[in-house]
Amino acid sequence: MSSPASGQVAELAAALAATASRPWTVMEVCGGQTHAILRWGLDQLLPPGLRLIHGPGCPVCVTPAERIDAALELAARSGVILCSYGDMLRVPGSTMGTDLLGARASGGDVRLLTSPLQAIALARGAPACQVVFLAVGFETTAPATALLLRQARQLGLANLSVLLAHVRVAPAMEALLLDPATQVQGFLAAGHVAAVMGSAELRELVARQRVPVVVTGFEPADVMAGLLQLVQLLEAGTPALANAYGRVVRERGNGAAQALLREVFVVEDRPWRGLGTIAAGGFGLAPAYRGFDAIERFGLAPTQDGRPRPNTPCISGPILQGRAIPPDCPAFGSACTPEQPLGAPMVSSEGACAAYHRYRRQSP
Amino acid sequence: MGDRIQLAHGGGGTLMQQLIHQELRALYADPAQVLHDAARLELPHGPLAFSTDGYVVQPLEFPGGDIGSLAVTGTANDLAMAGARPLHLSVGLILEEGLPLELLRRLVASMAMAARGCGLTIVTGDTKVVERGKADGVFLTTSGIGVVEAPGPIDPTAIRPGDQLLVSGDLGRHGVAILAARHGLALQPPVLSDCAPLWPQVSALLEAGVRIHCLRDLTRGGLASALQELAEAAEVELAIEEGRLPVLEPVARSCALLGFEPLHLANEGRFVVAVPPQARDQAQALLAASGGAWIGSVRPATGAGARVLLTTALGTERLLVPLSGELLPRIC
């Protein structure tokens, strides 16, 4: 199996133990990092006082249930081809037990895409059908949706639209800090978002909120190196931004991707599933692209505030806010499993519940 | 006879005779047997193993194999997992109207070659044609007979604490080959399916006198599912060393990209074997030639029940659990 640089990880773990003089609570924002931490058992290598809480950085998890409901409604219509990324197909809507795979089994035309641009070929190949792309994800996947829309506009494709659920990470990090109950003292930020957006947004966040943020990647050594830098900043009392992922993340990010985002989207307040509406928390369509909005084209109900329904035992809200861990949930592993998920964090490979269920069900 | 399968090819008339005699003849080691309703077999003495399996893979052809080689090798491998030398196979073909004849010819040639590679003969068969849209190109069912050459029972309940676990080769390649073909991922260099007969490796172990407690081929669900099934059937805990698992770099990289666990990916030419502790080194030497490796050992179950624990390359521990649901590529 590919080597996770075990020597380097052991050295970083020793350095962390030598650096941490008191307890610290930090959040890894990205689900990819949560997954790596549990996958590699990195929490078993940390000094006892260093507590990790798992952030909301799972794009599938934070997509509002109403968006899934809208997708389900469209998938049930004849003449509609509903397409999205693989792990969106198993996310339950607001009614328990409904998902896009189920819609497909009931006769809906639901397609799995690995790139949004595949929707162009779908739309051209089925001119009598309406192709709807359920567009989810952070600043990592939003540029690909933007590229799809730019091309669709150039081609004048009238039978393509998007159900937009792209969200912005930095405003959500700030919203978590503004919660008076927050325990987060520092962040590990997601390297792939920073690779697109650069450092500016995070620098502003650090300046406003006075918390240290370290950008890092997803390999075990990246996570450990990020934690070491974060603890060093905390111990020194320095609320600064550091980059532990220099091999990927540049100060200015990806200019071409940012230009695409600016052309196709506008920043809007958006609901995050489990977190509620976050100011400037996502993207809407720029005026020139409004015609591609599936909500308007099909006359669907707009999205609500993203808060979970009170009638479900799922505690995905507190989990996505880092106020609870999956084993705290009464449904975890019993009423809620990857086969019968009650909430999105049990579905996605980046969801905290799925990661705990997969690697930690009976703790070793 | 045209260049596509028509409904009449399954209708029992002259077109069907043409299909059988011109196109399917290559399947049979002894073409005379085609004309009979049943094959007459001379079998060696000893217990027999008998197995059947259906094959519905898409795409029909993929890097390193096709549904034909899979259908022959898969059933032969099920026999090998019972410690049996594969001898004879039947093939049931369900063809979809409109199937290109050229594709059928390639699949038939591939089945014949796989049969030779497995050392078995295809002795009887059946062909049906269904309307367009009622099948996915080709469905195949194969049933096989083999003679058991293992001296003792090969069964999960024969697994004992202290037993040693080995795999017969690198893991996950078939799964990556299929997923890449299905999702249009152009991997450079391409990852080829590991589809291959298992009997030669099993036979080598048996001939060397290695006492085999259990064999399990790693098909859908991969090593993770096979190990969990063995742990539950034997009511033991399996301790696996992640650093020992043979996963080739291109497979590991593709999995990292798509969000898959290599140990959940299908194989079609790999098995896991449990042997008593004293047989470990010998088994390892025999399997190493084909990329096999020792991967862990069997412990008594604890209060946590039958489970598979993985010691990561970092020295930490986690569960290894079976695949849940369908393998779906992740978003980012």
Mean pLDDT of B76-93: 97
pLDDT digit string, tens, across residues A11-21: 999 999 999 99
Taking contacts as CB-CB distances below 8 angstroms, the residues of chain A near B246 are 1
Structure tokens at A234: 């905390």
| Triad A232, A237, A238: Cα angle to 5° | 80
Residue B138 near residue B104 (C-beta atoms within 8 A): yes
Taking contacts as CB-CB distances below 8 angstroms, the residues of chain B near A350 are 259, 330
Mean predicted lDDT score pLDDT of chain B:
92
Verify whether the Cβ–Cβ distance B318 to A349 is below 8 Å.
Answer: no
Instruction: Identify which of A45, A338, A348 has the shortest CB distance to residue B314.
Output: A45
**How many domains does chain B contain in total?**
2
Q: Does A2 touch chain B if contact means CB atoms closer than 8 Å? A: yes
Q: What are the Cα distances from residue B269, in Å, to A185, B72, B200? A: 51, 12, 11
Query: A360 falls in which pLDDT band (50, 70, 90)?
Result: confident
pLDDT of residue A114: 86
Residue B11 has pLDDT above 80, yes or no: yes
pLDDT of residue A364: 33
Would you kindly state where each structural domain of chain A is located, as residue ranges?
A: 1-310, 316-359
Residues A343-358: b if buried by 16+ CB within 10 A, e if exposed = bbbbbbbbbbbbbbbb
Same domain, B142 and B163: no
Q: What percent of chain B has pLDDT over 70?
A: 96
Verify whether the Cβ–Cβ distance A6 to B329 is below 8 Å.
Answer: no
Which one is predicted more confidently, A358 or A253? A253
Instruction: Identify which of A2, A39, A192 has the shortest CB distance to residue B318.
Output: A39
Residue A77 has pLDDT above 60, yes or no: yes
Taking contacts as CB-CB distances below 8 angstroms, the residues of chain B near A44 are 316-317
Amino acid present at A262? R
Same domain, B93 and B242: no
* Burial bucket for residue A299 (CB in 10 Å: 0-12, 13-18, 19+): exposed
Look up the CATH number of the domain holding residue B228. Answer: 3.90.650.10
pLDDT of residue A363: 41
Q: Which domain does B201 fall in, by range? A: 156-319
Taking contacts as CB-CB distances below 8 angstroms, the residues of chain A near B317 are 41, 44, 364
Mean predicted lDDT score pLDDT of chain A:
91
Residues ≥6 apart with Cβ < 8 Å to A104:
A75, A89, A110
Lowest mean pLDDT among A342-351, B257-266, B319-328: B319-328
Half-sphere exposure (Cβ direction) of B58: Cα atoms closer than 13 Å: 6
Same domain, B27 and B90: yes
With DSSP H G I counted as helix, E B as strand and the rest as coil, what are the percentages for chain B, rounded to 5? 35, 25, 40
pLDDT digit string, tens, across residues B18-75: 888 888 888 887 766 656 778 889 899 899 999 999 999 999 999 999 999 999 999 9
The answer to whether residue B327 sits within a structural domain is no
Q: Give CA–CA dist A90/A85, Å, rounded.
A: 10
Q: What letter would DSSP give residue B190? A: P
Q: What letter would DSSP give residue B283? A: H
Query: B114 falls in which pLDDT band (50, 70, 90)?
Result: very high
Taking contacts as CB-CB distances below 8 angstroms, the residues of chain A near B303 are none
Verify whether the Cβ–Cβ distance B314 to A41 is below 8 Å.
Answer: yes
Report domain A1-310's class. alpha beta
pLDDT of residue A273: 86
Same domain, B194 and B312: yes
The pTM is what? 0.84
Query: B259 falls in which pLDDT band (50, 70, 90)?
Result: confident
User: B94, B124, B148 — which closes off a domain?
Assistant: B148
Same domain, B122 and B20: yes
Verify whether the Cβ–Cβ distance A1 to B317 is below 8 Å.
Answer: no
Residue B215's beta-bridge partner residues? B273
Would you list the DSSP string of B192-205?
A: PP----SHHHHHHH
Lowest mean pLDDT among A343-357, B61-75, B188-202: A343-357
Q: Give CA–CA dist A176/B312, Å, rounded.
A: 33
Distance from CA of A199 to the nearest CA of B (A): 20
Helices and strands of chain A, counted as H and E runs: 15, 11
Q: What are the Cα distances from residue A127, in Å, to A160, A161, B133, B312? A: 10, 13, 21, 51
The answer to whether residue B324 sits within a structural domain is no
Same domain, B292 and B160: yes
The answer to whether residue B2 sits within a structural domain is no
Taking contacts as CB-CB distances below 8 angstroms, the residues of chain A near B253 are 2
Instruction: Identify which of A44, A101, A136 has the shortest CB distance to residue B331.
Output: A136
Q: What percent of chain A has pLDDT over 70?
A: 95
Same domain, B189 and B315: yes
Same domain, B140 and B268: no
pLDDT digit string, tens, across residues A33-52: 999 999 999 999 999 999 99
The answer to whether residue B325 sits within a structural domain is no
pLDDT of residue B34: 58
The answer to whether residue B78 sits within a structural domain is yes
Residue B89 has pLDDT above 90, yes or no: yes
Distance from CA of B242 to the nearest CA of A (A): 7
The answer to whether residue B1 sits within a structural domain is no
pLDDT of residue B31: 67
First CA to last CA distance, chain B: 49
The answer to whether residue B165 sits within a structural domain is yes
Q: Does A67 touch chain B if contact means CB atoms closer than 8 Å? A: no
User: B148, B179, B206 — which closes off a domain?
Assistant: B148
* 3-state SS class at B28: strand
Q: Give CA–CA dist B262/B247, Å, rounded.
A: 7
Instruction: Identify which of B256, B316, B331 has the shortest CB distance to residue A41.
Output: B316
Same domain, B169 and B113: no
Same domain, B123 and B236: no
Q: Give CA–CA dist B34/B11, Å, rounded.
A: 17
- Residues 213-232 of chain A with CB under 8 A from chain B are 220
Residue A32 has pLDDT above 60, yes or no: yes
Same domain, B38 and B98: yes
Look up the CATH number of the domain holding residue B13. Answer: 3.30.1330.10
Mean pLDDT of B161-174: 97
Taking contacts as CB-CB distances below 8 angstroms, the residues of chain A near B172 are none
pLDDT of residue A206: 97
Lowest mean pLDDT among A271-275, A281-285, B316-320: A271-275
Residue A303 has pLDDT above 90, yes or no: no
Residue B293 has pLDDT above 80, yes or no: yes
Residue B65 near residue B190 (C-beta atoms within 8 A): no
* 3-state SS class at B293: strand
Q: Give CA–CA dist A247/A29, Å, rounded.
A: 20
Same domain, B73 and B20: yes
Q: Does A362 touch chain B if contact means CB atoms closer than 8 Å? A: yes
Q: Give CA–CA dist A104/A82, Å, rounded.
A: 10
pLDDT digit string, tens, across residues A93-140: 887 778 999 999 999 999 999 899 999 999 999 999 999 999 999 999
User: B124, B148, B172 — which closes off a domain?
Assistant: B148
